[in-house]
Amino acid sequence: MYKKSSPLVIILSYVGIALLYIPLLFIALFSVNANRHGQTWGGFSFDWYIKLFSNELVGQATLNSIILAVVSTIIATLFGTLLAIGIHRTPWNKKIRSFFDYSINIPVVTPDILMAIALVTVFGLFRTFLSCFEPGMLTLIISHVVFQLSFVVLVVLSRLASIPKDQIEAARDLYASTSGAWFRVILPQLFTGIIAGALLAFTLSLDDFIISFFVSGPTSQTLPLYIYGSLKRGVSPEIHALSTLIISLTLIVMLLVLFNNQKKSKGKDK
């Protein structure tokens, strides 16, 4: 039987939600404030959004972030999925399997600043042989793939753990080839885990600042780097407008996913 929550739990829940969303509401409010400094209300205006869309630096930084996130996510998802399958489906002995488990988890718990220093050192060594490792989009993509890979592997591994290993043998007993069994039996079940890992990798890439700060070049500035550089000159209403757009797009995507899941669940109920 359902037990009603205590008033304290309800109050704390509302306080937690308020702490999460009130700052976001203030950012949205400041983005339509005609007063540049935002200390007082100067009237409702969309001027900051107009100036934002006419800002070439913002456009270039946004394009760089999208290209970086898409390319690194595709590479990390491909190699992360293959690595997860190799770790899970190969009969390793306990020591080697433990080595793989620790190797995959270490990048997840390693501070970003240490990862960034290590990558800068490695790229510096590579530059003595190849000039293509100068700070730029290539070093950014490689760096993002490095820290995205572990997250993709962990997500795909968790999905693989729920798929019985004897399904391959069962499919082959029904005259399916090994590759056919993987593509027709395993991968459809693994698809949700692959998509979840890709979305996590994409989000981490868009949000990354520390590693990008160390390995980026003058022509490969990303959106987080642009925002950080703008904050040094004071918080501009254009930054509020940009932040509001990012929050709105994220909210729209979340609502679409929620609506799609509800639609699927209703279809199954019927």
Read off the pLDDT of residues 49-75 as tens digits, 9 standing for 90 and up. Answer: 888 888 888 888 888 988 999 999 999
Tell me what percent of the residues of the chain surpass a pLDDT of 70: 93
Split at pLDDT 50, 70, 90, the class of 267 is: low
What is the rounded average pLDDT for all residues in the chain? Answer: 84
Q: How far apart are CA 258 and CA 219, in angstroms?
A: 38
171-184 average pLDDT score: 76
pTM over 0.75: yes
Split at pLDDT 50, 70, 90, the class of 176 is: confident
Burial class (CB in 10 A: 0-12, 13-18, 19+), 201: buried
Burial 4-40 (b: 16+ CB within 10 A, else e): eeeeeeeeeeeeeeeeeeeeeeebeebbbbeeeebee
Instruction: Answer yes or no: are the C-beta atoms of 137 and 218 closer than 8 Å.
Output: no
HSE, CB side, 13 Å, CA atoms: give it for residue 193. Answer: 24
pLDDT of residue 55: 82
Residue 265 has pLDDT above 80, yes or no: no
Residue 258 has pLDDT above 80, yes or no: no
Each residue's pLDDT tens digit, 149-161:
999 999 999 988 8
pLDDT of residue 152: 93
